[in-house]
Structure 1
Amino acid sequence: MKTLAVAELRAMFPALRGSENKAPYIYFDGPGGTQMAQQSVDGMLAYITGGMANLHGAFPTSVGTDNLLLEGRKAVADLVHCASEEVAFGQNMTTLAFSIARSLGSFISADDEVVVTEMDHRANVDPWVTLAADKGAKVKFIELDPNTYTLKLDRLDELITEKTKLVAVGMSSNVTGTVTDIRRVIARAKEVNAIVVVDAVHAVPHMPIDFQELGCDILLCSAYKFFGPHIGIAVIAASLFEKLQVYKLAPAPQQIPDKLETGTQNQEALAGLIGAITFIEQLGEGKNRRERLVSGMQRIEEHEQQLTARLDGFLRQVPDLKLYRAPEGVYKTPTFAFTIPGIKAREVTTWFAENYSMCIADGHFYATTMAEKLGVLPIGGWIRIGLAPYNTLEEVMLFEEGFQKFMATRRS
């Protein structure tokens, strides 16, 4: 497999070009949203300037929008390996999750159980907790191990029982980067015929995804996390999708996946989504788009893991730093959360923005159950560095230099 040509890849991102008078920012905020690939920008611009129209008209620009929606579904289907009729779009992952939760009302009754986790972003917790509250169902949490930053999966048989009707689990933490063994969770859930929701928002940008192989019922992700625009994606197994009682307008389509897409879609974002997937495809090789996408993601993963090894080695040897990262042997995305005793997280990220033009995030990142359990809220949450394929070894080394300077200023 060819290695990623990072210099050529960086040229595909307009935000990395800087200007005549200012160098570009160094973007270490991938988990909060990646920069947009040129192919995505071009797709959106072509749609906007080429004649915008809504769906289902007889005139050419409307037919073009119909085709754009169909192509968007096919592109996502190849990206995550599902059927195109299982792909629906919406404002964002959170909005889609709440809409789906409302549609699942008939599947949940009083005395049923819903299982969520202490690690997840609240977008994969609160929609299902709200559903449980509405129906009088009980909520159980898969606990976080505060020492390994992984989920405690040894009690799945006790947590997921014959009463369990829905299990929601994140594929990868947007804070610690921990990649959970969701196949183990899915297998147990399926033993009791529970619906399984997988939050793959933080996973899709970093690894190949196979919806069919996973065997979950619902998979959620967002294009702005993988080099595209702000648009949410829901993949719902057709066998479940057909049964969903979606809240919608009476004349709106009844068939899947259209019935979940209430109102006018963000058509230009669909064009950008296709461009983002094209960007990934162009990094890979293969006989068809699916193969090229898998190959492209593998190259992204390989490059990111090389940078991860360097940054992980540096952060682990800093004495005045607490790194929230699973031990060796646990697979992780290139995402690092840490705190510095006695220093507010925002103080650190502001210093790096002002002195090194680095975009480093701070906060709880909506993983508030984990933030509360680990006690980071009083200091403003975590400091988080999230790498993307356009990051370089030189940028990582510059962060190391900057961090040492920052700590020197606090000791003097």
Structure 2
Amino acid sequence: MAFDVAAFRAGFPSLASGIAHFDNPGGTQTPTVVGEAIARTLTGPLSQRGSGTLSQRNAEEAVAGFRSAIADLLGGVPGGVVHGRSATALTYDFSRTLAKTWSPGDEVVVCELDHDSNVRPWVQAAERAGVAVKWLRLVPETGELDLSSLDVITSRTRLVALTAASNLLGTRSPVATVAARAHEVGALVYVDAVHHAAHAAPDIATMGADLVVCSPYKFFGPHCGALVADPALLETLRPDKLVPSTDAVPERFELGTLPYELLAGATAAIDLIASLGTGTSRRERLVSAAALVAEHELRLRVRIEDGLAALGDHLTLHSRAADRTSTLFVTLRDRRPSDVHELLAKQDVLVPAGTFYAYETFRALGLPVDAGLRIGLAAYTDDSDVDRLLEGLADAIA
């Protein structure tokens, strides 16, 4: 079964703008079916959740549909799915909740490959609790996790926070290996799958993770976040909440009225991805679709890598891990990244320059923050986009 990129692109009205989007790790374009689901839900009938009227049932269905879809995407169960304003907000919420169980002498472990949203909340919570912070290191030459640094996981470790895939380099982490080590000492494993979920159908059990977060707007959905965990684990956690609000799991972690329209939009995005695959269950179709799209993205990634190599030593490709997504980070020898970004933008080729919130990764690579360009593919990227990118980079360097 071949992936029909032209047919897929047809579902995205924004692509008619002519912009070649390589900013996808920062957020993808939104297809018609997602916009329609949001509008259909928002314009009602819609009210607070319940069963007495159609408006109440519509709200209930939006929530139930979201929990089921996210569970299928991440290999969890609907009763363990928590909605959040963003992955960052969810991580802050859970860092504060989990920190209540920490004591001086405990330790938490964070990773140099991570987006700052899976670093700073834990570092700040550890500081408030008087808990030490240890680091999983990366190997600058390959951009891979330094497995020798797993020695920082000890009997004092209470939590390990790790990305499933670097949003800067694309490096996929050996999450299962890290999780096995953490579980040997009784530590929890909190996995940021925001970038990974845009290029795979992660499985919380296979990863060995205890809590996993993702962001639907990275895979064609609206701006919100989701967390998946075992409901039994969530039952043991006591977040701050309002007195009248329910204490049931997972609702006890969700503050205020849920944005039902965004939940419906996220469900529509996941259903769109599933429609690309084959299988009897949505989970099976999502896994199949992820493999199909990964093959498409890999072919384009190789084209880009060959094109970058042809530009010689004018740029350096830092995405070198053996196992990685279709995201490339490059630095330039004779040009400022912001200047090249602006030159490409004038040709409607969007390649962002910035920190990408990968503060610790830049430090580990020995690079100044905001040192390069990030090129990120999505399922709707096609060969003409790649042609324009490579032509634009050659012109910018010349």
User: How far 1:128 moved relative to its partner?
Assistant: 1.0
Identify unmatched segments of 5+ residues in structure 2.
Answer: none
- In the alignment, structure 1 residue 167 sits paired with structure 2 residue 167: no
Residue 16 of structure 1 corresponds to 15
Distance 1:334 1:260 in 2: 33
Amino acid at match of 2:323: Y
For 1:131, what is the secondary structure of its paired residue?
A: helix
SS in 2 for 1:383: strand
Whole-angstrom distance in 1 between the partners of 2:51 and 2:334: 61
- How far off its partner does 1:105 sit? 2.2
Report which stretch shifted further, 284-293 or 167-176.
284-293
Amino acid in the other structure paired with 1:390: Y
Aligned-partner Cα distance in 2 for 1:91–1:159: 32
Contact 2:105–2:131, Cα closer than 8 Å, also in 1 = yes
| Matched AA of 1:232 | G
Which of 29, 40, 51 is the equivalent residue of 2:34? 40
Matches within 5 A, 1:135-214: 135-156=129-150, 158-214=151-207
The separation in 2 between residues aligned to 1:376 and 1:251, in whole angstroms, is: 50
Q: For the residues of structure 1 that align with 2:230 and 2:245, how far apart are their CA atoms?
A: 21
SS in 2 for 1:338: strand
SS of match in other structure, 2:159: strand
- In 1, Cα distance between the equivalents of 2:164 and 2:280? 28
Matched, 1:52 2:46: yes
Equivalent residues of 1:304, 1:388 under 8 A apart: yes
Q: State the Cα deviation string for residues 335-387 of structure 1 (Å, max 9, x = none).
A: 01111124221111111001x20111111111111213334336x33211100
The structural deviation recorded for 1:180 is 1.0
Does the CA contact (< 8 Å) of 1:107 and 1:165 recur in 2?
A: no
Work out the CA distance in 2 between the residues paired with 1:57 and 1:359: 46
Corresponding residue for 2:6? Answer: 7
The residue that corresponds to 2:355 in the other structure is 364
Aligned to 1:121: 115
| In 1: Cα distance, 2:379 partner to 2:54 partner | 38
User: 1:185-232 deviations in whole A, cap 9, x for unaligned?
Assistant: 011001101000000000001012111222211000000001000010
Which residue of structure 1 aligns with residue 379 of structure 2?
A: 389
- Aligned residue type for 1:107: T
Q: Which residue of 2 aligns with 1:218?
A: 211
Q: How much identity, in percent, do the aligned residues show?
A: 37
Distance 1:399 1:388 in 2: 14
Cα distance per residue 1:6-45 (max 9 Å; x no partner): 0000001111123xxxxx2111111000111222111001
Q: 1:266, CA displacement in angstroms? A: 1.5
**Does the 8 Å contact 2:45/2:58 carry over to 1?**
no
Q: Any idea what the Cα deviations from partners look like across 1:277-318, whole Å, max 9, x if unmatched?
A: 110011011111111111111111111111111111222342
Matched, 1:249 2:253: no
The CA distance in 1 between the partners of 2:149 and 2:139, in whole Å, is 12
- Which secondary structure state, in structure 2, belongs to the residue aligned with residue 128 of structure 1? helix
Partner of 1:69: 63
Aligned-partner Cα distance in 1 for 2:37–2:51: 21
Question: Does structure 1 retain, via aligned residues, the 8 Å contact 2:335–2:397?
Answer: no
* Alignment pair present for 1:130 and 2:124: yes
> What letter is aligned with 1:76?
I
Deviation for aligned residue 1:56: 3.2
Matched, 1:403 2:393: yes
TM-aligned CA deviation for residue 406 of structure 1: 1.2
| 1:84 counterpart residue number | 78
Alignment coverage as a number of residue pairs: 397
Q: Distance in 1 between matches of 2:51 and 2:368?
A: 52
In structure 2, how many angstroms separate the alpha carbons of the residues matched to 1:32 and 1:178? 16
- Work out the CA distance in 2 between the residues paired with 1:192 and 1:405: 54
Distance in 1, Cα, partners of 2:225 & 2:372: 26
Aligned counterparts of 1:38 and 1:298: Cα–Cα separation in 2: 23
Distance in 2, Cα, partners of 1:270 & 1:79: 14
SS at match of 1:72: helix
Match of 1:289 in 2: 282
- Does 1:27 find its partner at 2:17? no
The SS at the match of 2:171 is: coil
Report how far residue 57 of structure 1 moved.
6.5
Looking at structure 2, the residues matched to 237 and 217 of structure 1 have their Cα atoms a distance apart, in angstroms, of 7
In structure 2, distance between residues paired with 1:184 and 1:247: 33
Q: Which amino acid aligns with 2:335?
A: I
Q: Aligned partner of 1:384: which letter?
A: R
Contact persistence 1:55–1:66 (CA under 8 A): yes
- 1:331 matched residue in structure 2: 323
Measure the CA separation in 1 of the matches of 2:248 and 2:309. 52
Structure 2 residue 343 is matched with structure 1 residue 351? yes
Superposed, which structure 2 residues align to 1:272-287 within 5 Å? 272-287=265-280
Residues in 1 aligned to 2:187 and 2:351: alpha-carbon distance in whole angstroms: 39
Is 2:79–2:231's contact at 8 Å kept on the other side of the alignment?
A: yes
Query: What is the CA deviation profile of residues 136-181 of structure 1, one whole-angstrom value per residue up to 9, with x for unaligned ones?
Result: 111001112111111111231x210000000000010001101111
Query: For residues 59 and 33 of structure 2, what CA distance do their matches in structure 1 show?
Result: 18
* CA displacement 1:34-91 (0-9 Å, x = unmatched): 1112221110011122333222363211221011101110111111111100001010
CA distance in 1, matches of 2:130, 2:348: 50
Structure 1 match to 2:307: 314
